[in-house]
Chains A and B, each alone.
Chain A
Amino acid sequence: MIGVLTFCLAGGFLALPALAQQQVSSEALQLLQKVATAAQKVTYTGVFVYQNGSRSETSRITHLIDGGNELERLEVLDGSPREVVRRNEEVKCFLPENKLLIVERRSARQFFPTLLPGSLAGLTEYYQIRKGSIGRVAGVDSQSILIEPRDEFRYGHQFWVDPQSGLLLKASLINELGQPLETFAFTELKIGGPMDKEMLKSQFEAKEGNWQIQQVHSSEVKGDDGQWIFRITLPGFRRISSTKRQLRPDAPESMQLIFSDGLAAMSVFLEPMAGRRKEEPEVFAMGAVNGYRRQVADYQVIVMGDVPPAALRRFADSLESKRK
C-alpha cells in the first residue's frame, strides 16, 4: 500500500492518490450512531429553545414509545400556539392562525435511512468529524461533536450529546464563517416514563371550529420517470427517495426527490406548470432552510434544503428535462 506513494517533484508538491483522507475520531462516530438510534427509542419530554437569526422560540417536545407505537408532540410555547403531532408515520401540523391542519404521511422506509453504521462512516468523506470538549452543563457532562464540511456544498454542525442516553442536547447548524445559522437546545429534559398519554394529544384535536384540513396524499414511485437529468451532482448527495404527492388541493401533483449526504438534505419538487404564469427564478430562505424556484420546460422546480444557497442553486440550475 505504501508502495503507491508517489512523490511529485515537478509539481513541487506531494500527491498521495489512493489513500483516503482519514482524520476521524471513531469514538465520535460511535456516539453519532448512538444519537441516531436514541432519538427513536427513548421516551422523553423536554423544553427546548430554537433560535435562528435573532429569532428564538421556546417549544415543548414529548416523545413516547408505547407498545411499538411512536408518538410525538411538538408545541410552540411562544407566539401563536402551533403544534405538530406525530403518530408513527402520520404527521399533523396545526396552524391555528390560519385555522389550517396539514396532514402529511411520510413513508416509513425513509425514516433515518442514512443512519446505518456503514453509511454513517461514509460521512467522513465529506465531513471532518471529531470529538470536541466536554461541557459540564448543570451537572450533565455533554460531549460535543464537531462536524466540519470538507467542501463548500454543505454546512457544518456542532452537536452536544448526553453520552448516557445518546440524546442530542444541543445542536447548531454552522455556516461558512463558523457562525450558527440555527441552534436548538434543550433547557429542560426528562428522560424516561411514565408519561401521561394526554400529553401527546393536540389541544386543537378536540376543539370545534371550521378548520381547513389539507390532506397530503403521497405515493412512493420508482425512479423519476427517467425524465429528468441533473447535469451536476453535488459530491456525496445521493437520491434517497422519489415520491408523488398532492401538496395542495388546488395544485397539480408534484414529484418530490430527496437527495442527502447523510446529514444535509435537499428536496426537489417538480410540478407541471399547468397553465400557471411564468415567473422569474426566485431564491428564498425559511429560517436555515434555503430555497430556489425556477422553471424548466413546462415544469416548476422548487429546491430546498439546509445547504448553502450557492450549492442549492448550482444543483437546481443543472436540472434538464429529457423531453425537449
Chain B
Amino acid sequence: MGDREADQALVERVQAGDKQAYGLLVTKYQRKLLRLISRLVRDPAEAEDVAQEAFIKAYRALPSFRGDSAFYTWLYRIGVNTAKNWLVANGRRAPTSTELDNEDAENYGEGDLLRDVDTPERLLMTKQIGDTVNAAMAELPEELRTAIALREIEGLSYEEIAQMMDCPIGTVRSRIFRAREAIAVRLRPLLDTGPDRRW
C-alpha cells in the first residue's frame, strides 16, 4: 500500500472514531508543517503553537476530508490559513501568496532556521539530533547506508532500490529496517519517552 493510500487508511480510521490514529499523522507531518509555518511565523515558540492549532483545526475539519487530494496537501492549506489568521490576529501583515511562493521566501526561511531566536537548549537539541543521526549513518555498513539513503533522500521505491543494488526486494526491506534500528538505538537516549510524553 502506497504512502498516500496508507495515509488515507489512517484518515478513515480517524473518521470512524479512532482519535488515537490521528496522533500518528501528527507525528508524521509535524516537522513538515512546522517548517512551512515557520516561514510565516518567525518566532519558534509561536510557530509551534500555530502548528498545534493547525493540527487541531484539521482534526475538527477531518469529517469533510474526502481524499480528493493527499492528506498533506490538505493539511498544508489549513496550515497556511491558520498561520495567516494568526498573523492578522496579532496585528502583523499576512504575506501574499507570491511572497509565500517565491523562492526568496524559501531561502529566507532556510537561513532563518540557523539564526533565529530559538533558545540555546533547543538549538543544541536540534544539533545533537542531527549529529547523532549523521554519526550513526557514517557508522552503518555500506549496504545499509546506501539502502536507507536511496530510500529517504532519493525517495526511491523498494523495487527501484533493489534494481540499483542488484538484490531482492526482501533484502532491501530488511536493510532499510536494520539501518533505521541502528540509528534509532543511538537516538533514543536523546529523546524523552517518559509516560508524560505518551499519548
A contact set with B: CB distance below 8 Å:
1-2, 5, 7, 9, 12-14, 16, 19, 21-23, 130, 132-133, 146, 152, 158, 175-179, 308-310
Contacts and interface: CB of A to CB of B under 8 A. Distances in A.
Contacts of A22: 154-156, 160
A176 B101 contact: yes
Classify the secondary structure of B's interface with A: helix
B12 to A, nearest CB: 12
B70 A146 contact: yes
Contacts of A2: 146, 164-165
Contact of B76 (A23, A133, A158, A177): A177
13 contacts: A2-B146, A7-B145, A14-B134, A14-B137, A14-B153, A21-B155, A23-B157, A152-B102, A176-B101, A177-B77, A178-B69, A178-B74, A179-B77
A16 B149 contact: yes
Given A12-B130, A179-B77, 10 more contacts: A1-B164, A7-B138, A7-B145, A12-B134, A16-B150, A23-B155, A130-B2, A133-B67, A177-B76, A178-B74
Contacts of B76: 177-178
7 nearest CB pairs, A to B = A178-B73, A23-B155, A310-B98, A12-B130, A310-B102, A178-B77, A177-B77
Nearest to B157: A23
B41 interface: no
B103 A152 contact: yes
Interface string B89-105: 00000000110111100
B199 to A, nearest CB: 28
Contacts, number: 69
Contact of B153 (A1, A16, A179, A309): A16
A167 B103 CA distance: 36
Contacts of B103: 152
B118 to A, nearest CB: 16
B49 interface: no
A175 B134 CA distance: 36
A14 B152 CA distance: 10
Interface in B131-147: 131, 134-135, 137-138, 145-146
Nearest to B70: A146
Contacts of A146: 70
Contacts of B131: 12
Contacts of B54: none
A7 B153 CA distance: 12
Contacts of A7: 137-138, 145, 149
Contacts of B13: none
Given A9-B134, A14-B149, A23-B155, A176 B100 contact: yes
A129 to B, nearest CB: 13
B4 interface: yes
Contacts of A1: 164
Q: Which of B100, B101, B106, B160 counts the most A-chain CB atoms under 10 A from its CB?
A: B101
A174 to B, nearest CB: 8
A249 to B, nearest CB: 37
B8 interface: yes
A71 to B, nearest CB: 35
A22 B155 CA distance: 7
Interface in B1-25: 2, 4-5, 8
B3 to A, nearest CB: 9
A158 B153 CA distance: 26
